[in-house]
Structure 1
């Protein structure tokens, strides 16, 4: 069955490959427009998650996630700029840098049909469109850093000084959000796949960023104080923030107790378990097909399954301690898409795409009517698959939204079209 799908994809590629990269670039442009539009609204409303999580600071003592907020306050005071506007500007800058780095990764790669489908899946760039409350979260920092890490490994073995500087950035980013530690296996995977055969240098390359992230978490465990809601809210308002910013990260509760974790475990009803069974093949299948199609020498089928299981298990604490399951799923999909982009084969010649366009009409004449119907049917089926569901950033009881993309499209067009 997989071979049949791959053969069909190859036929689609022979006709349409020249359009894949422009489509992905248009998707990136759309993603940024949506991000900036929704992010601006959330910032002006002083959203407690989109803004509050970014401006946590050390004015009341050393706490987790407070480093970035402390820096933002310092910059805001220097330029007399409101914190919500400064945070919004930083978010847009980070997101556009991530998109530009991603485009750089695919600039000279042979993009295949399954990778195009992965890019348009609800767990990647369209995730912010389907669920606006996911806009402006700190995972965009991980995306940018991971994309830069892939670029660093793309051409040559990075020098030790480059890895050391990157490890410092990982340490700083972990102080900004501790979830960085749980996604460090992706960074290790990039090092492993790019430095096979160079054991000594590869060993350092694999360990340095991970050690830096572990060190940052150790500092937080040993020295960080719990976030005090009244104290932090008072600091926010003294800095000129609207009181609405307190209704988010600091009011929800920063530290999950064992009792809360146990309650969440026993609350997993059959519906949630069914959703887990549903999203796993929907998300993992395109990733598997992409890597199978690329046939990367370091990632055969068995290795891929082992690696995928390990990557998911590494983030298990996030699923237990937080109800933002959709966000964790989207991070997995996004990091996987970035990783695959760095391992797509390079174009043999820069004229390949122009040749594909020139031969498009000739291909149409050669292909039989029955084959064309099959190709169109498969393409339509995969498109409908991407439109059949979306992922909400939260919460467990509403993780999968059936036909979410179609509902979102309807709500977007409703003000402009008289249905």
Structure 2
């Protein structure tokens, strides 16, 4: 019989976390769709039928076609697609991890408040369109890691990014991670390849900026009502100055700088133990700076930090050592490095980063598991 130390491995914990996160995301995505959430379901139903070409409009028109051919309710049609994308992402990431030998330090990234744990802390992260880009990036890294990214597959990845741009424009702002992945694998700059990835995201962005109309041109709510979806709030009602909102609520938003600093120290500590730490650190700085327009234009600061961390978690699998199937798993040893890591993990589970609004609170996963139920029970009694 195997010793407990051989069974209780980091990979096992990561696998359990993958399953738990996937199930949690699927359940709460279903709840959001069932309740016709205007921010999550509504975002998938932006369409070209109301006023023509616009940002994010391809998704709604796509689901209108699905409904016309199948007779499915829009809520279900969207959810089935979300299930495919979410399961595809977690399954691909699971496949990558099975080939690797992750350590406790890598696991700590997943348990960061803006890592996989972020979904448990903020259910508004689930069901959103960034899962499309997560899925594409996971497939991309999986192919890179197996050295199977030939020309035909690379064109498929680029085509996926092109389509993703018409689902949500944030695809552009996280494209640098694809370029970093290419460099980490090849160890050299491949300008021609980089240009392909840049163009398939930049050209749609220019078209959307120059030709795109408003998300709601006046008929969207009526069109959706006729198709069985009634929205009372959400993106179709979004009509205020987001920069002014951030300015007016800066006492809350400035706490995002604290969350960012914590995550920066966490990632920096991780990179300290990687071979290409210095050059990779240099590459990650422009990747983050490239996303700064999102922080200027939109209020979802926690969401942007969360997306960055998910991309880093997937990207860093390229640097994990290959799994040795003959090697006996070792138990956790008590040393200074692991002590710091465990402290990071416990601290990460204590605090929460909201999608928008409060950038740091002590209402993390531990609060939700051990304190919230007690407070609720106390109120009931």
TM-score exceeds 0.5: yes
Q: Structure 1 residues 307, 265: closer, same or farther in 2, change over 3 A?
A: farther
Distance 2:344 2:63 in 1: 43
Q: Which residue does the alignment assign to 1:368? A: none
Moved over 6 A (4+): 373-376, 415-419
Equivalent of 1:41 in 7, 31, 49: 31
Deviation at 1:374, TM superposition (A): 6.3
Q: CA deviation at 1:29?
A: 1.0
**1:222 maps to what in 2?**
210
Deviations 1:189-248 (A, max 9, x none): 111222234x5xx2222221221001111221232222235311111111111233xx11
Q: Is 2:306 the partner of 1:330?
A: yes
Confirm or deny: 8 A CA contact 2:119 2:126 kept in the other structure.
Answer: yes
The reply to whether residue 319 of structure 1 matches residue 319 of structure 2 is no
Q: Which moved more, 1:48-57 or 1:229-238?
A: 229-238
| Cα 1:55–1:340 shift into 2, 3 Å | same
Decide which of 176, 195, 210 is 1:207's aligned counterpart.
Answer: 195
Task: Quote the residue 1:407 is aligned against.
Answer: 367
Q: Indicate yes or no: 2:329 matched with 1:356.
A: yes
User: When the two structures are aligned, how many residues end up with a matched partner?
Assistant: 374
CA contact 1:390–1:402 (8 Å) conserved in 2: yes
User: Quick check: 2:185–2:318 contact (8 Å CA) kept in 1?
Assistant: no
Partner of 1:72: 63
- Alpha carbons of structure 1 residues 22 and 78: separation in structure 2 relative to 1, 3 Å: same
Q: Distance in 1 between matches of 2:56 and 2:143?
A: 27
Tell me the distance in 2 between the aligned counterparts of 1:163 and 1:179: 20
User: In structure 2, how many angstroms separate the alpha carbons of the residues matched to 1:144 and 1:401?
Assistant: 30
Task: Give the structure 2 partner of residue 166 of structure 1.
Answer: 157
Deviation sequence 1:227-278 (CA, Å, 0-9, x none)? 235311111111111233xx1111113xx7xxx36535644746633x2442
Question: Which of 380, 390, 394 does residue 352 from structure 2 map onto?
Answer: 390
Q: Distance in 2 between matches of 1:173 and 1:132?
A: 23
Superposition deviation, residue 308 in structure 1: 2.8
CA distance in 2, matches of 1:412, 1:36: 23
Give the corresponding residue for 2:277: 300
1:281 aligns with 2:261: yes
Cα 1:265/1:59, change in 2 over 3 Å: closer
Asked if structure 1 preserves the Cα contact closer than 8 Å seen for 2:33 and 2:40, the reply is yes
CA contact (8 A) 2:158 2:197 kept: yes
The equivalent residue for 1:263 is 244
SS in 2 for 1:391: coil
Residues 53 and 411 from structure 1, CA distance in 2 versus in 1: closer, same or farther, beyond 3 angstroms?
farther
1:306 CA displacement? 2.5
Matches of 1:283 and 1:263, distance apart in 2:
26
Q: Deviations for 1:114-170, whole angstroms, at most 9, x for unmatched residues?
A: 101111112122212111122111111111011111112112263222222221111
Partner of 2:109: 118
Say if 2:79 is the partner of 1:99: no
Which of 185, 188, 197 is residue 179 of structure 2 equivalent to? Answer: 188
Rounded Cα–Cα distance in structure 1 between residues aligned with 2:340 and 2:141: 32
Deviating more after overlay: 309-318 vs 279-288: 279-288
RMSD between aligned alpha carbons?
2.7
Q: 1:403–1:42: structure 2 CA closer, same or farther, 3 Å change rule?
A: closer
TM-score (normalised: structure 1): 0.82
Shift of 1:39: 1.4
- TM-score, normalised with respect to structure 2: 0.90
Q: Given the superposition, is the C-alpha separation of residues 98 and 411 from structure 1 closer, same or farther in structure 2, using an over 3 Å criterion?
A: farther
Alignment equivalent of 1:341, drawn from 303, 317, 321: 317
1:231 alignment counterpart = 219
Aligned to 2:40, which of 45, 50, 53? 50
Question: Contact 2:122/2:354 (CA < 8 Å) preserved in 1?
Answer: yes
Q: Which has the larger radius of gyration?
A: 1
5+ residue gaps, structure 1, are: 1-14, 365-371
Contact 1:56 1:66 in 2 (8 A): yes
Equivalent pair of 1:65/1:175 in contact (CA under 8 Å): yes
Secondary structure at the residue paired with 2:273? helix
1:59 aligns with 49
Contact 2:243 2:299 in 1 (8 A): no
- The corresponding residue for 1:11 is none
Change (3 A) 1:373 1:208: closer
| Residue aligning to 1:5 | none
